[in-house]
Amino acid sequence: MSAPSHLSDLGPAPCAEQGSALRLTRQRREVYDVLLERRDHPTVQEVFARAKERMPKISLATVYNCLEALMQVGLVRQVNLHRSPSRFCPNLSDHAHFHCAACGQVSDIPLEATPCPTLPDGAVLHQQEITLRGLCPHCASPKHS
Amino acid sequence: MSAPSHLSDLGPAPCAEQGSALRLTRQRREVYDVLLERRDHPTVQEVFARAKERMPKISLATVYNCLEALMQVGLVRQVNLHRSPSRFCPNLSDHAHFHCAACGQVSDIPLEATPCPTLPDGAVLHQQEITLRGLCPHCASPKHS
DNA sequence: GTGAATGCAAAACCTTTGCAACTGG
DNA sequence: CCAGTTGCAAAGGTTTTGCATTCAC
């Protein structure tokens, strides 16, 4: 909850990729706000639904666009999952994602030490993603099954 | 979304021990052989095409089935990628996957130390996936531009 | 023999694209 | 003003499903 509450500074390349300035549109702001409001890793459809509540005219394609744009500037990360649509995450700290195979929920797992694999000579690393799959405490509990 | 019912009958299959209740069909064997032959992380379509060469009657749905079954018993891992169909990998050793954003190739990166994030109390870990994204040596080279 | 797996085709689904209208800087 | 963005709708591609037939055990 200590993250940047509002994207007041989207223009001046926040997380410094290649100096691309992001044009601040109402839609992008709305999509980003939706992600910040509840850190529950929504799917595109969920982002769309939530954004629509406050901006009924917004289109699904625009949500995809906005998310892609936010990812480009480094404010948002995409989580690619097995048998499940992608989720989106505005948490920029180093962390892994835990995907429950039963209920489908995704949660953040803090990483104390970031692994540093040896890349092939000359390779350039842009991004690193750690995904854990299993059963969340609730679904793993014997009472639950 | 989760908890595919028609897969549960393969048995719990903790980690590909001998007791796996996997029914050995020609198709499953063929699909697995295809994966072992070239360790190049093929997509489902590629597996399908290669399997078809030697088993012309095999269907795409069956390839999906077989891959899912092989994953359930732990012989195969699926790699979920951004803007790219899933790839499949029969390499069971601890390793990460490097996905080149330019050419799309996926390669294995050995891990010397496996990170061990602290899971929430009661959570059960089934599998861990580390995906790196960037430019492979070839695509990162200036000459290649 | 019997339940599970296959093959085929269609459906469901997620994501991308094309284009005219609009808008942020 | 103008390039970049949106909304809409339709296309594109991947993955899943239903059902009759076939097969492994």
In this prediction, the residues of chain A whose per-residue pLDDT falls under 70 are 1-20, 145
Q: What is the pLDDT of residue B6?
A: 28
| A94: CB within 7 A of chain C nucleic strand | no
Tens digit of pLDDT for each residue in B24-43? Answer: 999 999 999 999 999 999 99
Tens digit of pLDDT for each residue in A70-82? Answer: 999 999 999 999 9
* Among A81, A104, A122, beta carbon nearest to B140: A122
Check: pTM over 0.75? Answer yes or no: yes
Q: Which amino acid is at A100?
A: C
Q: What percent of chain B has pLDDT over 70?
A: 85
- Smallest CA-to-CA distance from B124 within A95, A145, A93 is with A145
SS3 B128: strand
Rounded distance, CA B39 to CA B79, Å?
13
Copy the structure tokens of residue B105. Answer: 């190739």
Copy the structure tokens of residue A103. Answer: 């209920």
Find the radius of gyration of the CA atoms of chain B.
17
Rounded distance, CA B66 to CA B25, Å?
9
Task: Using the structure, give the distance in angstroms from the CA atom of B124 to the C1' atom of C11, rounded to a whole number.
Answer: 35
B125 touches chain A (CB under 8 A): yes
Q: What is the pLDDT of residue A39?
A: 93
Copy the structure tokens of residue A51. Answer: 């954004």
CB-to-strand D under 7 Å, chain B 45-104: 45, 60-61, 64-65, 68, 85-86
Rounded distance, CA B127 to CA A98, Å?
10
